[in-house]
Amino acid sequence: MGLFDNLFGNKSNQPDSQKSVDYIRINLLAKLGEEKLGEGKYNEAIDYIHEFFELMNRNSFTDLQHLIQPCNFNLALSYSNSEDYSNAIVYWTKFIQSDRTNFDAYNERLKAFFELNKLPEAIQDIDNALRLKPNRDDLYINKGIALIKMGNKLEARKALTRAKELGNADAQNFINNHC
């Protein structure tokens, strides 16, 4: 048993020196990914976070599992900001599987669904987001727009009327012009 086995909880067949380097690197990659996202350097953030996941897959650092959820969030947000909506959806979905109460994740994923014209999926995320924040007029507007695009004017009118009730100034224009 090596010096770092108890300290880092490593169970792989790597030499102890490599385990400790990987442990430190995993922490660093997660932090660098977050920093690059904050700086608006989305491709760099994506690269760092993917490297984080590669190292996590090669090691069994159980005490670093808590980094997976924020890395999924940061990766999803980086993909969204770089307009790679297919990959954004993949990582928003992974994040949502670990936290079904995060409004921002549903809100961001529905935007990606909209961009890819996956309207039923967008509506499902709108409904999930509305369960978390039921008085968001922007969600009702988005639901109305999606339903209009899908040809369901009756349901669109209901969503847009709710947006109007919540104070959205654009809702009446959508009702007048599309419903």
CA 102 to mean position of chain CA atoms: 9
State the chain's mean pLDDT as an integer.
91
Q: How far apart are CA 31 and CA 80, in angstroms?
A: 19
Q: What percent of the chain has pLDDT over 90?
A: 86
Instruction: Tell me the residue range of the domain where 52 lies.
Output: 1-99
Can you give the pLDDT at residue 60?
81
Q: Which CATH number covers residue 105?
A: 1.25.40.10
115 pLDDT exceeds 50? yes
Q: Which residue has the higher pLDDT, 18 or 113?
A: 113
Q: How many CA atoms lie within 13 A of 154 on its CB side?
A: 0
Q: What is the dihedral of CA 128, 132, 138, 141, to 10 degrees?
A: 40
Residue 7 sits in the same domain as residue 75: yes
133 pLDDT exceeds 90? yes
Domain boundary at 99, 132, 165, which? 99
Domain boundary at 61, 80, 99, which? 99
Residue 3 sits in the same domain as residue 87: yes
Can you give the pLDDT at residue 24?
94
Can you give the pLDDT at residue 20?
85
Can you give the pLDDT at residue 80?
98
Q: What is the pLDDT of residues 46-69, one digit of tens each?
A: 999 999 999 999 998 999 999 999
Q: What percent of the chain has pLDDT over 70?
A: 90
2 pLDDT exceeds 70? no
Q: What is the pLDDT of residues 67-99, one digit of tens each?
A: 999 999 999 999 999 999 999 999 999 999 999
Distances (CA, A) of 159 to 52, 81, 165: 42, 28, 10
Residue 40 sits in the same domain as residue 114: no
Residue 95 sits in the same domain as residue 144: no
Can you give the pLDDT at residue 70?
97
22 pLDDT exceeds 50? yes
18 pLDDT exceeds 60? yes
Residue 89 sits in the same domain as residue 132: no
What is the number of structural domains in the chain? 2
Separate counts of helices (H) and strands (E) for the chain: 10, 0
1 pLDDT exceeds 60? no
**Which has the closest alpha carbon to 36: 52, 24, 56?**
52
